[in-house]
Amino acid sequence: MKALIFDMDGVIIDSEKVYEQVDQQWFAENGIKTDRIALRQCLGCTDDVNWGMIARWNPELDIAAAFQKYCAFCKDVRVNYEKIYRPYVQALIDQCRRCGILTALASSSPMDNIQTVLCDCQLEGQFDLVVSGCDLPVSKPDPAIFLQCAKQLGCMPAECVVIEDSLNGVTAGKRAGMMVIGLDDPYFGQDLSKADVRVDQLEQIVITDKGFLIGGQAL
């Protein structure tokens, strides 16, 4: 394998629960109907996918205006990313670097949010490539973001390994023709059955000059 591609939310940072709680409170305060469980189907997707569902539940709502208000709200929300950062990420990056394996971050979050996370978690400059799904015309589960990573890294998709925590992310990785490691989160109970292998924590992944080891077994 020549490249390891990380998702951000739910992989590098344990942020999905935080975002869900903040979002649900904002929706309630603004009288917007949502279905918390149904919205979990959008984990790993860009905001336009989430708001497409919200539009169907709120046909009378001016979605463009509501989304603009939501974005302004999000800019004022301060999340302690350092507190929810998974520090073993740096160990994996270091292992990749020692073994000559490229690293990328492929997130559906906006680039400004990605940069904030990288800064707060002291990961600036650590990845060989950072890609935001917001800069692409389609969201996960479409494989576009992973294919873009492979292209920019100069690798074939089959030479890449992806770490994902959502059904949409795992599906995108497999559609891209990549090996996928699924990171389970019992809180959301995402179906990661399409992943090539699943782990409960990142520490189960070890990268050596002989390849990837998952729980001591070769990937």
Residue 200 burial (CB count, 10 A): 11
> How high is the mean pLDDT of the chain?
94
Cis peptide before 141 (omega within 30 of 0): yes
Domain definitions of the chain by residue range: 3-15+81-218, 16-76
Q: Are strands 205-208 and 197-199 parallel, antiparallel or unpaired?
A: unpaired
pLDDT at residue 186 is higher than 90: no
Phi, psi of 205 (to 5 degrees): -100, 125
Q: Which residues of 50-85 are buried (b: 16+ CB within 10 A; e: fewer)?
A: bbebbeeebeebebeebbeebeeebeeeebebeebb
For residue 83, what are the contacts with CB-CB under 8 A and spacing of at least 6?
Answer: none
Three-state DSSP class for residue 185? coil
> Domain spanning 3-15+81-218 has what CATH number?
3.40.50.1000
Quick one: pLDDT band at residue 202, thresholds 50, 70, 90?
very high
How is residue 188 written in tokens? Answer: 């959301």
**Which pLDDT does position 22 carry in this prediction?**
92
How is residue 64 written in tokens? Answer: 């463009």
Where is pLDDT greater, at 38 or 89? 89
pLDDT at residue 163 is higher than 90: yes
Nearest-10 Cα torsion for 6, 10, 12, 18: 150
**Which pLDDT does position 75 carry in this prediction?**
84
Quickly tell me which residue has 């996918």 as its tokens: 49
**Which pLDDT does position 72 carry in this prediction?**
92
pLDDT at residue 176 is higher than 80: yes
From residue 64, give the alpha-carbon distance in Å to each of 26, 28, 39, 55, 84: 16, 18, 19, 10, 31
**Which pLDDT does position 154 carry in this prediction?**
97
